[in-house]
A and B are shown apart, each in its own frame.
Chain A
């Protein structure tokens, strides 16, 4: 299972790409595989303020539904309309076209690096 080195992660199986104070967030390939085919993504509204650990959306597959948790404190600045229209992108391209939201980070949070996340999911 691919765990790109250039991203950071949470124990909730989200990835975060930081660019200055803008964080792009998605769910990992591991999470997508565990969920199965994603058929519905509900995302927060642009402008929403979120705090680390807040449930701010939902990801639903044929088999189950799971919450999307805010990985950092911040304000939602963009959501991926393409993934709302085609939720399968979460499975097929989790680290690129399947990104979920962008937020402007306002606080610090402890994130995992790729090695720590790989250990968390059982390594390869």
Chain B
């Protein structure tokens, strides 16, 4: 075994026969039985995920909203209490340091959820950026266990364990309450393209909540689900993954996420000048979807070619055989002019160039 950090649910995963992988220093379940079965369960019933590796940062103080408007590309001061927004932390040159979900828990209390691999970078950048504001940051990663229930059966499953009025909890909203008799934060967010919930609970309560959800979900077809299917689910849903689609070398505009940059907000924010330039110049590379009728899947790093000239015009960032669609799908950065849906391109799959077609993202949208 490696020295990676177990989550508070490690014993539960072992009991369920999980295979583990090291992910950003955490020992995480990669699958329990079959990635495809877990993927399909999320699309048709529900899946139960341990996401305790995600980083949680809590910010408080009289000027916390202004401090975050300055620090992030979005406008957290405009987020209503009990609501959430997807946003990004960018460097002064506009490069993406992480993509984040920001929840406003109270007027002067925000919860920021960062990718495990970037949690330290986000924490250090925010500590520096909020200096001079009346705001404080606490890294509460170790205080929270994050459990997600994702899939069309999420509502009936969670409803059996809480009195919270789930119908009133809108997409990208968060509420405090009780679930399986433990105090929790219940958010209607996720990373699978399905309806579902993310449950923030105390580590001591995590095993009780996990087993209660497994039991409540079993009649609905819920399966425990690992990181392997989380990746194919997010890919089908066209959601970017930091390290694949997003990096310090890309700005939100290449990723097709320029809308997250709030140029209209008051005051300066880190990266404003560089991002405004990129907005005005236009991106040189654009994130697109690719599909193929073949059997071999484009994978991260594979070159994308123009079949006419043979020239390389881009590179794949993520790719896999889509369990839902039954054919290979991929995301890639390609040069402007090659990004129109219907464009025929080729991907060099380990020495053989296979035909692919540019398609609009996402590949999959829930009914």
Seen from chain A, the residues whose Cβ lies within 8 Å of a Cβ on chain B are 33-34, 36-37, 39-40, 42, 58, 60-65, 91
Q: B283: CB under 8 A from chain A?
A: no
Seen from chain B, the residues whose Cβ lies within 8 Å of a Cβ on chain A are 19, 30-31, 34-37, 39, 228-229, 231-232, 295-297, 299, 320-321, 323, 350
- A86, chain B: closest CB distance, angstroms: 13
Kindly name the residue among A36, A40, A58, A91 whose own CB sees the greatest number of chain B CB atoms within 10 A: A36
Query: B297, A65: Cβ atoms under 8 Å?
Result: yes
A62 cross-chain contacts in B, Cβ below 8 A: 35-36, 39, 228-229, 232, 320-321, 323
Query: B296, A63: Cβ atoms under 8 Å?
Result: no
B37 cross-chain contacts in A, Cβ below 8 A: 37
> Once bound together, how far apart are the Cα atoms of A101 and B229, in whole Å?
29
B323 cross-chain contacts in A, Cβ below 8 A: 62
Q: Which of A36, A40, A63 is close to B295, meaning CB atoms less than 8 Å apart? A: A40
Query: B321, A36: Cβ atoms under 8 Å?
Result: no
Query: B320, A40: Cβ atoms under 8 Å?
Result: no
A37 cross-chain contacts in B, Cβ below 8 A: 34-37
Could you pull out 22 A-B pairs where Cβ atoms are within 8 angstroms? A33-B19, A34-B19, A36-B34, A37-B34, A37-B35, A37-B36, A39-B321, A40-B297, A40-B321, A58-B296, A58-B350, A60-B296, A60-B297, A60-B321, A62-B35, A62-B39, A62-B229, A62-B232, A62-B320, A63-B320, A65-B299, A91-B34
A58 cross-chain contacts in B, Cβ below 8 A: 296, 350
> Once bound together, how far apart are the Cα atoms of A33 and B21, in whole Å?
12
- A122, chain B: closest CB distance, angstroms: 9
A61 cross-chain contacts in B, Cβ below 8 A: 35
Query: B35, A63: Cβ atoms under 8 Å?
Result: yes
Query: B296, A40: Cβ atoms under 8 Å?
Result: yes
> Once bound together, how far apart are the Cα atoms of A65 and B229, in whole Å?
16
* 14 further contact pairs, Cβ within 8 A, besides A40-B296, A62-B323: A36-B31, A36-B35, A36-B228, A37-B35, A37-B36, A37-B37, A60-B296, A60-B321, A62-B39, A62-B320, A63-B35, A65-B296, A65-B297, A65-B350
- A67, chain B: closest CB distance, angstroms: 9
Kindly name the residue among A39, A42, A64 whose own CB sees the greatest number of chain B CB atoms within 10 A: A39
> Once bound together, how far apart are the Cα atoms of A21 and B161, in whole Å?
62
- B64, chain A: closest CB distance, angstroms: 40
- A7, chain B: closest CB distance, angstroms: 22
Q: Which 3 A-B pairs have the closest CB atoms?
A: A37-B36, A36-B35, A39-B321
A39 cross-chain contacts in B, Cβ below 8 A: 36, 321
B36 cross-chain contacts in A, Cβ below 8 A: 37, 39, 62
Kindly name the residue among A40, A63, A65 whose own CB sees the greatest number of chain B CB atoms within 10 A: A63
> Once bound together, how far apart are the Cα atoms of A36 and B295, in whole Å?
17
- A98, chain B: closest CB distance, angstroms: 14
Considering only CB atoms, which chain A residue lies closest to B227 in the complex? A63
- B165, chain A: closest CB distance, angstroms: 37
- B76, chain A: closest CB distance, angstroms: 35
> Once bound together, how far apart are the Cα atoms of A37 and B295, in whole Å?
15
Considering only CB atoms, which chain A residue lies closest to B39 in the complex? A62
Kindly name the residue among A34, A58, A60, A62 whose own CB sees the greatest number of chain B CB atoms within 10 A: A62
- A39, chain B: closest CB distance, angstroms: 5
- A66, chain B: closest CB distance, angstroms: 11
Kindly name the residue among B19, B36, B350 whose own CB sees the greatest number of chain A CB atoms within 10 A: B36
A64 cross-chain contacts in B, Cβ below 8 A: 299
- B328, chain A: closest CB distance, angstroms: 9
> Once bound together, how far apart are the Cα atoms of A39 and B297, in whole Å?
10
> Once bound together, how far apart are the Cα atoms of A91 and B229, in whole Å?
16
A40 cross-chain contacts in B, Cβ below 8 A: 295-297, 321
A34 cross-chain contacts in B, Cβ below 8 A: 19
> Once bound together, how far apart are the Cα atoms of A120 and B19, in whole Å?
18
> Once bound together, how far apart are the Cα atoms of A60 and B31, in whole Å?
17
Considering only CB atoms, which chain B residue lies closest to A36 in the complex? B35
Considering only CB atoms, which chain B residue lies closest to A33 in the complex? B19
A36 cross-chain contacts in B, Cβ below 8 A: 30-31, 34-35, 228
- A108, chain B: closest CB distance, angstroms: 30
Considering only CB atoms, which chain A residue lies closest to B321 in the complex? A39
Query: A63, B228: Cβ atoms under 8 Å?
Result: yes
- B364, chain A: closest CB distance, angstroms: 14
B297 cross-chain contacts in A, Cβ below 8 A: 40, 60, 65
- A44, chain B: closest CB distance, angstroms: 15
Considering only CB atoms, which chain A residue lies closest to B322 in the complex? A62
